[in-house]
């Protein structure tokens, strides 16, 4: 299956206004997703919020099977959450850490996650173990296997880090954790929607995801996958009267599906918008999307490699749609601003996002250009020409 680029661009209003190379920040949504989100907001304004939700019941319920299909899960293993960080938090903070428990993670881990490790370690006496990288710059699978012992409570990594093109070997990590009987939390914030992700093959117990990045959904949306077989007994840290029922004056019963991680109040228009975005990804097919994104990203890396003073900084045996680079003697934030004056969107990743990785490589920050299916080779040429003219 091939993608119809002309149609994709025609169905993406933002393509007429910007050269958008910031899908890893927030991708351009399709007109279909935009309409679905706005139409529900209008309906709320016209007939009332509760009444609009009742009228849109089938669309709201359709969110769960749409997302489940995308990642190879069951519908009752999906919870709508307002963003990937909160979805990740709901899984992580619901685990009962004790003194001496070990949390294994990777060098490229995201800052929000690592701050949570530090907080839990400080409060409970749990220990953080950073598994070193291999020669490709990805998690060393042999070192991971050796690091797991009877005290290991959790293995938690980011599938695709925010600061580069690296794609971690998530399935290989899953095999190791499953064989060891250790819980596995995968931050898929940058991977779902970019590349094929099948939770049964990955073997993770939890997976957190946002809507706004490669899935092209609305901001303020995301989801948590909780594997029924291994997480059913885990009670969320926070409960409300949607996640649980008040069954007696002094008793409550928690839902037995993943919706126990949800709030009763949520962004209903966003639920519908994210459903539509998931539907579109399913219709296009993740294999064709992934093939196109790699083609674009590899083409961008090749173009950038010819620009004097530009040094590519992506790691990994497998590289994805996020392209990072450093420009000699340049202020990357100034470059970003000057490109924005030409309606070219890129961003800058700093040690704030991934301290262990960038600091360890002696990089204060890197420029980040992240492609999506609506981008063209002509846009890549224009971007590189604009960058070259500035530097």
Same domain, 316 and 178: no
Owner of token pair 């094929």? 196
CATH assignment of the domain containing 254 = 3.40.640.10
Q: How confident is the model at residue 14 (pLDDT cuts 50, 70, 90)?
A: very high
Q: Does 359 score more than 70 pLDDT?
A: yes
| Residue 366 CB-half CA count within 13 A | 28
H or E segment to which residue 223 belongs: strand 222-226
Q: What is the pLDDT of residues 210-227, one digit of tens each?
A: 999 999 999 999 999 999
Tell me which of 216, 250, 283 is where a domain ends.
283
Same domain, 191 and 334: no
Same domain, 186 and 108: yes
Q: How confident is the model at residue 275 (pLDDT cuts 50, 70, 90)?
A: very high
Q: Does 258 score more than 90 pLDDT?
A: yes
The pLDDT > 70 percentage for the chain reads 100
Order of strands, sheet of 183-187, starting from the edge strand that comes earlier in the sequence? 78-81, 222-226, 206-210, 183-187, 152-158, 102-106, 127-131
CATH assignment of the domain containing 372 = 3.90.1150.10
Owner of token pair 């093959």? 201
pLDDT of residue 309: 96
Domains of the chain: total = 2
Same domain, 288 and 334: yes
**φ/ψ (deg, to 5) at 77:** -100, 10
Q: What is the pLDDT of residues 117-146, one digit of tens each?
A: 999 999 999 999 999 999 999 999 999 999
Same domain, 265 and 296: no
Q: Does 257 score more than 80 pLDDT?
A: yes
Q: What's the chain's average pLDDT?
A: 97
65-79 CB burial, b ≥16 within 10 A, e <16: bbbbebbebbbbbbb
The whole domain housing 326 covers: 5-29+284-390
Kindly state the average pLDDT of the residues 293-303.
98
pLDDT of residue 1: 63
Same domain, 147 and 199: yes
Same domain, 262 and 337: no
Q: Does 346 score more than 80 pLDDT?
A: yes
Tell me which of 283, 300, 319 is where a domain ends.
283
The C-alpha atoms of residue 272 and residue 261 are separated, in whole angstroms, by 19
Same domain, 20 and 74: no
Kindly state the average pLDDT of the residues 254-281.
97
Phi-psi region of 348 (alpha: psi -120 to 50; beta: other; left: phi over 0): beta
Kindly state the average pLDDT of the residues 170-190.
98
Tell me which of 249, 283, 317 is where a domain ends.
283
Q: How confident is the model at residue 2 (pLDDT cuts 50, 70, 90)?
A: confident
The pLDDT > 90 percentage for the chain reads 99
Same domain, 263 and 295: no
Same domain, 276 and 357: no
CA distances for 178 relative to 102, 201, 280, angstroms:
16, 11, 32
**Is there a contact between 128 and 330 (Cβ–Cβ < 8 Å)?**
no
Q: Does 35 score more than 80 pLDDT?
A: yes
The C-alpha atoms of residue 350 and residue 324 are separated, in whole angstroms, by 11
pLDDT of residue 324: 98
Same domain, 295 and 275: no
Q: What is the pLDDT of residues 141-170, one digit of tens each?
A: 999 999 999 999 999 999 999 999 999 999
The C-alpha atoms of residue 106 and residue 139 are separated, in whole angstroms, by 6
Q: Is 312 helix (H, G, I), strand (E, B) or coil?
A: strand
User: Judging by beta carbons within 10 Å of its beta carbon (0-12, 13-18, 19+), is residue 343 exposed, middle or buried?
Assistant: exposed
Same domain, 159 and 190: yes
Q: What is the pLDDT of residues 54-64, one digit of tens each?
A: 999 999 999 99
């Amino acid at each position: 299956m091939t993608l119809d680029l002309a149609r994709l661009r025609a169905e993406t209003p933002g393509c007429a206004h910007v050269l958008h190379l910031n899908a890893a920040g927030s991708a351009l949504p399709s007109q279909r997703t935009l309409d679905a989100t706005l139409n529900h907001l209008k309906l709320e304004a016209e007939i009332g919020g509760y009444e609009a939700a009742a009228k849109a019941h089938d669309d709201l319920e359709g969110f769960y099977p749409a997302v489940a299909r995308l990642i190879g899960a069951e519908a009752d293993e999906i919870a709508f959450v307002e963003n990937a960080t909160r979805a990740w938090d709901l899984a992580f903070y619901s685990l009962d850490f004790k003194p001496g428990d070990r949390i294994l993670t990777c060098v490229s881990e995201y800052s929000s996650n690592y701050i949570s490790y530090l907080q839990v370690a400080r409060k409970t006496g749990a220990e953080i173990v950073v598994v070193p990288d291999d020669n490709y710059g990805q998690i060393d699978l042999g070192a991971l296997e050796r690091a797991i012992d009877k005290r290991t409570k959790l293995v938690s990594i980011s599938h695709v880090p925010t600061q580069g093109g690296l794609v971690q070997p998530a399935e290989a990590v899953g095999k190791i954790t499953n064989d060891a009987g250790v819980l596995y939390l995968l931050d898929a914030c940058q991977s779902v929607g970019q590349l094929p992700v099948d939770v049964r093959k990955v073997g993770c117990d939890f997976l957190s995801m946002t809507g706004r990045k490669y899935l092209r959904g609305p901001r303020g949306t995301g989801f948590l996958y909780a594997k029924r077989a291994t997480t059913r007994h885990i009670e969320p840290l926070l409960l409300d009267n949607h996640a649980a029922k008040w069954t007696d004056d002094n008793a409550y019963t928690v839902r037995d599906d993943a919706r126990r991680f949800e709030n009763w109040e949520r962004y209903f228009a966003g639920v519908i918008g994210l459903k539509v975005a998931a539907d579109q990804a399913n219709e296009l097919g993740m294999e064709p999307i992934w093939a196109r994104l790699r083609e674009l990203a590899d083409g961008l890396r090749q173009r950038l490699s010819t620009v004097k003073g530009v040094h590519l900084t992506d790691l990994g045996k497998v590289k994805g749609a996020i392209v990072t680079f450093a420009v000699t003697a340049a202020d990357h934030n100034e470059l970003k601003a000057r490109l924005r004056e030409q309606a070219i969107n890129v961003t800058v990743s700093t040690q704030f996002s991934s301290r262990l990785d960038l600091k360890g490589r002696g990089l204060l920050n890197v420029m980040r250009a992240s492609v999506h299916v609506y981008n063209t080779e002509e846009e890549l040429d224009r971007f590189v020409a604009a960058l070259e003219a500035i530097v």
